[in-house]
C-alpha cells in the first residue's frame, strides 16, 4: 500500500508562468502517492492561474510547484457529469508541445467551494503504478463538533471514462459524538467502495484503515487507508481511499445534506 501524506501547504509549472511566494495554510489535502502527485496551496501566477488556492503538482513537470485547480478548469470545463478531464498522456499527438507529458487528469469540484478531488495517471491506465488519487481544498476546518451527526452526499472518482456509470455515488455519515465517519459509494458498473469506520480527529481530519472494495458484492480489496478533511465549517468534505492495488483507489467529495 502506498503511503498517504496529509499536507497543508508545496507547487507545478503549466507552461512558462511567473511564480509567487504566496501560500495558504488553510489549504489541506492528500495524495495516495506523493512520488507522482503532491497537494498544497498554489503558488503560480499567470495565465488562468492564481496563487493561494487549492493546488496540485505532478512529477512530470516538477513536484513542489503547485497550480490551482480553478485555473486548470480553463483548459477543460466540467463535462455533463461535473468532471474536468485533461487527457495529455505521454506522447499524445493531441497534446500541445508544452503539455505533452502531463498525463491524464479526472477531477471534480465540491459544490462551488475551492475544494477538489480526482485521479491522475501517466496514460489513463488505473492498474499502473502511476494511478494516484488526491484531494485538495481551501478553508480547511481546524476543529469539529463533539455532538450531533451530519450526512454528506458524495461522488467518487475511480477509473472515470466519461460516463455517469463510472462515477460512484453514495452517502457518508459523520457521527461527531462518536468521532466516526462511515458509509459507502457505488457505481452502476458494479464497483462499491466502503470506507469502513474511519476516525474523525479533533483537527477536522479523518483517518481510517479498514476500507473495502467489491465488485458485484465480491470483495476485491480490503484494508484500504482513508484520508479526508472537513472544510467550510463542516459544510464540505473531501477525501480518498488508498488500497494496495492502485486500480481500486478512489477519491471522493461532497457537501452536507
Q: What is the pLDDT of residues 237-247, one digit of tens each?
A: 999 999 999 99
| Same-domain check for residues 186 and 246 | yes
Q: Is residue 12 over pLDDT 70?
A: no
Tally the domains of the chain. Answer: 2
Q: How far apart are alpha carbons 148 and 166 in whole angstroms? A: 33
Mean pLDDT in residue range 198-225 = 98
Q: Is the pTM of this model over 0.85?
A: yes
Same domain, yes or no: 220 and 163: yes
As a whole number, the mean pLDDT across the chain is 87
Cell 465549517 appears where? 233
DSSP letter for 247, please.
Answer: G
The pLDDT value recorded for residue 227 is: 98
* CA dist., res. 13 & res. 49, Å (int): 10
Structural domain contains residue 143: no
| Averaged pLDDT for residues 227-250 | 97
| Whether residue 109 sits in one domain with residue 26 | yes
- Residue 185 sits in which domain range? 149-256
Same domain, 58 and 156: no
Same domain, 49 and 168: no
Q: Is 148 exposed, middle or buried (0-12, 13-18, 19+ CB in 10 A)?
A: exposed
- Express each pLDDT in 161-186 by its tens digit: 999 999 999 999 999 999 999 999 99
Residue ending a domain, among 137, 170, 196, is 137
Phi, psi of 98 (to 5 degrees): -80, -10
Amino acid at each position: 500500500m502506498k503511503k498517504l501524506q496529509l499536507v497543508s501547504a508545496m507547487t507545478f509549472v503549466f507552461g512558462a508562468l511567473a511564480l509567487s511566494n504566496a501560500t495558504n495554510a488553510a489549504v489541506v489535502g492528500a495524495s495516495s502517492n506523493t512520488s507522482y502527485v503532491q497537494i498544497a496551496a498554489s503558488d503560480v501566477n499567470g495565465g488562468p492561474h492564481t496563487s493561494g488556492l487549492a493546488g496540485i503538482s505532478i512529477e512530470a513537470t516538477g513536484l513542489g510547484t503547485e497550480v490551482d485547480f480553478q485555473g486548470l478548469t480553463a483548459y477543460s470545463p466540467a463535462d455533463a457529469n461535473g468532471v474536468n478531464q485533461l487527457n495529455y498522456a505521454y506522447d499524445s499527438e493531441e497534446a500541445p508541445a508544452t503539455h505533452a507529458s502531463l498525463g491524464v487528469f479526472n477531477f471534480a469540484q465540491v459544490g462551488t467551494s475551492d475544494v477538489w478531488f480526482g485521479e491522475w495517471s501517466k496514460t489513463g491506465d488505473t492498474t499502473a503504478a502511476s494511478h494516484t488519487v488526491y484531494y485538495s481544498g481551501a478553508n480547511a476546518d481546524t476543529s469539529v463538533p463533539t455532538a450531533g451527526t451530519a450526512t454528506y452526499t458524495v461522488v467518487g472518482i475511480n477509473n472515470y471514462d466519461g460516463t455517469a456509470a463510472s462515477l460512484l455515488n453514495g452517502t457518508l455519515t459523520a457521527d461527531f459524538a462518536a468521532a466516526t465517519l462511515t458509509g459507502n459509494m457505488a457505481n452502476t458498473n458494479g464497483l462499491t467502495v466502503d470506507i469502513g469506520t474511519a476516525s474523525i480527529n479533533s483537527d477536522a481530519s479523518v483517518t481510517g484503515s479498514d476500507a473495502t472494495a467489491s465488485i458485484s458484492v465480491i470483495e476485491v480489496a480490503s484494508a484500504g487507508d482513508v484520508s479526508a478533511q472537513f472544510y467550510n465549517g463542516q459544510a464540505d468534505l473531501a477525501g480518498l481511499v488508498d488500497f494496495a492495488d492502485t486500480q481500486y483507489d478512489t477519491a471522493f467529495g461532497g457537501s452536507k445534506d
